[in-house]
């Protein structure tokens, strides 16, 4: 196999990249942006080698502890549990939350053999020592809700308040395009103006 | 800047990859497919280092001469001129053409300062020594047509037949969705059944 074909195949590990896109990317990297391509390859190698889970919150970082966990000004009394490191970026960008995080790297799914141990919830328990509110920000899927249930029991046992992100109509959303369950939820949880 | 942010930025050199996609790719590479990511980075580095233009046809190859040019069984009497190395892959897949190729890596565009010298057409002239048909497969854009005109004059001067890919209705194409110029061309070039 020629080196070009090998590169085209290697690029197809990227999600959403098929044969045609891989070909386009290959010629872009080899003809239009060799310098950028070299930097990309080197950064990728370095990242794969150095980036690991933060020893406290399990997000991805090249240091033993991530920037948020290492920051003494973050409020240890609030812990927000998310499914993925990407969720932390989202929440940091959208909100002014100043507490700590914990990344599950998944959600409870007994049918796939993923229980509390697989999600390393014992590490979460360590974070809960100084905590008075556990904000459960898992997704609103069946597994996400199951995980939220489990976490709220865990919080209850430790005498900690558990909260869940609100469900409802997305901002800028037309009622016409909202699914029935979301609308029913938003209607039931209506707030006084 | 953290290494993760650096990787996200590095990925954005890829065409069609913005901040959100770069984030998705980053977490995919670091969480789901470290092995594939490592292979991708290494192949990319190797490719950027080793792949250069074929000294005869100017396509991209890791050898001094590409597989097609090095093959003594290819018909030197037919030379097909294309704009990019990707076009060769397309023609090889779609047709049973057994001649040689020449890659322009662009098209004539005097307004951008791209003349025959920039496209290294002197290298094409070397290929034309044993050639009796020059197949001009540049695109059907204004620059592509200008380039085709120039190449056909070049062939004429050397006493070589110049041919151009046929224009017309794409196979499987409904007349309703074909633009007027293509339809007019197809109508004028109608063939007897």
Classify burial at B152, counting beta carbons within 10 Å of its beta carbon; exposed 0-12, middle 13-18, buried 19 or more: middle
Q: Do B10 and A44 touch (CB under 8 A)?
A: yes
Instruction: Pull the structure tokens for residue A21.
Output: 């896109």
Work out the number of other CB atoms within 10 angstroms of the CB of residue B69. Answer: 22
Query: What is the arithmetic mean of pLDDT over A64-76?
Result: 95
Chain B residues whose beta carbon lies within 8 Å of the beta carbon of residue A34: 48
CATH of A78-164, one of 3.40.1360.10, 3.40.50.970, 3.30.70.260, 3.30.420.40: 3.40.1360.10
Q: How far apart are CA A44 and CA A36, in angstroms?
A: 12
Query: What is the arithmetic mean of pLDDT over B3-9?
Result: 95
What count of Cα atoms within 13 Å lies in the side-chain half-sphere of residue B107?
Answer: 18
Q: Do B47 and A86 touch (CB under 8 A)?
A: no
Chain B residues whose beta carbon lies within 8 Å of the beta carbon of residue A21: 16
Contact B79, B134 (CB under 8 A): yes
Work out the number of other CB atoms within 10 angstroms of the CB of residue A174. Answer: 8
Query: What is the arithmetic mean of pLDDT over A88-99?
Result: 92
Query: What is the arithmetic mean of pLDDT over B14-43?
Result: 95
Q: Nearest-CA residue of chain A relative to B13?
A: A36
Per-residue pLDDT tens for B84-132? Answer: 999 999 999 999 999 999 999 999 998 889 998 888 888 999 889 989 9
Domain range annotation of chain A: 3-50, 78-164
Measured in angstroms, the CA of B31 and the nearest CA of chain A are apart by 9
For chain B, how many residues are written?
Answer: 193
Confidence of residue A45 (pLDDT cuts 50, 70, 90): very high
pLDDT value of residue B168:
86
**Average pLDDT for chain B:** 92
In this predicted complex, what is the ipTM?
Answer: 0.83
pLDDT value of residue B147:
94
pLDDT value of residue B65:
94
Q: Which of B21, B40, B47 has the alpha carbon at shortest distance from A47?
A: B40
pLDDT value of residue A31:
92
Contact B147, B121 (CB under 8 A): no
Confidence of residue B181 (pLDDT cuts 50, 70, 90): confident
3-state helix, strand, coil in chain A (%, to 5): 50, 15, 40
Q: How far apart are CA B34 and CA B46, in angstroms?
A: 18
Contact A170, A115 (CB under 8 A): no
**Average pLDDT for chain A:** 92
Classify burial at B18, counting beta carbons within 10 Å of its beta carbon; exposed 0-12, middle 13-18, buried 19 or more: exposed
- The topology (CATH level 3) of B3-50 is Helicase, Ruva Protein; domain 3 (1.10.8)
Measured in angstroms, the CA of A64 and the nearest CA of chain B are apart by 13
Work out the number of other CB atoms within 10 angstroms of the CB of residue B68. Answer: 18
Contact A89, B20 (CB under 8 A): no
Q: Choose the weakest-confidence range: A44-48, A174-178, B147-151.
A: A174-178
- The topology (CATH level 3) of B60-161 is Dna Topoisomerase Vi A Subunit; Chain: A, domain 2 (3.40.1360)
């Amino acid at each position: 196999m020629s080196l070009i074909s090998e590169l085209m195949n290697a690029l197809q590990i990227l999600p959403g990249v098929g044969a045609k896109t891989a070909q386009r990317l290959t010629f872009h990297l080899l003809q239009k942006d060799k310098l950028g391509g070299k930097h990309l390859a080197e950064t990728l190698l370095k990242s794969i080698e150095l980036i690991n889970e933060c020893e406290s919150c399990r997000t991805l970082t090249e240091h033993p502890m991530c920037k948020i966990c290492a920051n003494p000004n973050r409020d240890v009394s609030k812990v927000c549990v998310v499914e993925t490191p990407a969720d932390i970026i989202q929440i940091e960008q959208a909100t002014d939350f100043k507490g700590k995080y914990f990344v599950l790297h998944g959600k409870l799914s007994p049918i796939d053999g993923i229980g509390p141990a697989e999600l390393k919830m014992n590490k979460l328990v360590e974070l809960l020592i100084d905590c008075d509110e556990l904000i459960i920000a898992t997704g609103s899927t069946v597994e996400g809700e199951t995980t939220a249930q489990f976490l709220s029991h865990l919080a209850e046992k430790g005498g900690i308040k558990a909260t869940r992100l609100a469900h409802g109509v997305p901002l800028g959303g037309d009622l016409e395009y909202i699914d029935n369950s979301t609308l029913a939820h938003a209607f039931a949880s209506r707030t006084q103006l």
